[in-house]
Amino acid sequence: MIAAAAALSLLLPLASAHMGCGGHEIGRRNHGGSRVLEHRQVANSVVAREREYGRGWGDDILGNMLETDLRDSGRCNASPERACRNPNAAPPGVAAGARAVSCASPTGLVHDPTSECTYYTYSPWDAIKSSYPTIWAAADIVANDTEATALFATINASLNAALPDVAVKGNGDHTGNWGTTDTTYTTDTDCWWTYAKCTTPASSTGLAADITTVPEPETWGLGFDDGPNCSHNALYNFLSEQDQKATMFFIGSNVVDWPVQAIRAKDDGHEICVHTWSHEYMTSFSNQQAFAELYYTRKAIKELLGVTPKCWRPPFGDVDNRIRFIAAALNMTTIVWSEDTDDWKVGTDNVTSADVSANYADFCAAGKNGTYSTFGPVVLNHELNNYTMQEFIDVYPTIKASFKYIVPIATALNTTYPYEETNVTYPTFAQYIGGTTETNGTTASNSSSSSTSNSSTASGAAAAASTSAKSAASQVAALPVMGMFVAGLVATLL
């Protein structure tokens, strides 16, 4: 943990705060993404105003009130340098000067729980963001991105040849409103998870089955969706104290919203996987959009964290053979789950926190009664908000008492090279349970200073692009439906 803190301290000069004394109150959503809020909890007036006036509107009020409280209690430095006001930043309906710009010191961005959700700018991201889709919008290939265009053309040609009859699902709004698909799709020819929870494509497709469980008996496959959350330090500190690693399924828009938090996850030794750019239903996207959702998330992780993930999880589990094909062509394994805590549903569908606690209790009971005597579950947990994170912290001792082992998914699968970078290795399952939980390798994140940690390689646009293209070429060529022509075509594009 000390090493991780030291590594993060090297990044702080690159981060510039632009709202002070941000909050860590229980139940607060990661305001990095209104779309996640929209799908996961009943919208409130603050979220509605954020949609109307822009991301962060609620924090003009919440941050201002919290700053006042902290200053009154003597815990917030109110000097002009740290409590300045920016009248131009206030959206309609907020009094001029309502936004605090830099109440917290830079170190507060990663160490002070009352200010870890302070908005900041990060110069490595600022330098490359023009080559990425708009955050929290459905991704598409960015104009003039010739490499992405060429790579997609190759993958798309192969996809259309292999699976010509797998159609886009829904009516195009990407929110799970399936329109006429609900009535016209009556036979699960596409192995569509949302329709029939299908996770094993027909062998004729050449596609691998989704990961739903782990092969190690009495082992909890630990992962968290929807990060990085700006207020995740309490969870990550807890995991560090427990010497517990996990698999983190990161949303691309969250990674670029909260890059310092994302870097901490990698530096703490957690496995990083892709959870798409905008967290929408993947089968509702065109081939090109689905490609972009995965491609740009993976690229952002490479450029900002220095590693290229080889795993992904579809939001809401929504995947079919068409989407699996695109992910496989990008060298990413599809991981879903066998057990859902429903922590993400609290506040919707009549789900309560008591229901979530009961779900955890059921899983733990199964861990003791022999249900998992020959394999282990992959459990759906979330880094979504402070409730979901605290709930896991609270139940962790019970999980630990109910299962022999709790390990990240890569470790449970004995995946010793979780990234395309071959200088980063993960412990095997035997090594992990024997006490070797750290990854091996050094990385330079996209910053002016190299940070030593337990992961990966130097990043950069050219390196990321080359890696993406080469991995896709090898994966496309490996699929049995592709043939030598496609492999040669991809090689010419490189």
- Catalytic annotation, residues: 225, 382
CA 360 → CA 180, 205, 348, 402, 489, distances in Å? 36, 36, 18, 11, 50
Q: At CA 106, angle to CA 240 and CA 272, rounded to 5?
A: 40
- What phi, psi does 449 have (nearest 5°)? -120, 140
- What phi, psi does 306 have (nearest 5°)? 90, 10
Q: How far apart are CA 317 and CA 313, in angstroms?
A: 7
Torsion on CA atoms 211, 216, 219, 225, rounded to nearest 10? -20
Sequence-separated (6 or more) residues with CB below 8 Å from residue 418: 271, 272, 309, 310, 311, 410, 424, 426
Tokens (6 digits) for 323: 């989407």
Closest to 255 (Cα-Cα) out of 282, 228, 291, 286 = 228
The span from the first CA to the last CA of the chain, in angstroms, equals 40
Closest to 256 (Cα-Cα) out of 126, 374, 145, 430 = 126
CA 292 → CA 152, 287, 469, distances in Å? 9, 9, 13
CB 235 within 8 A of CB 207: no
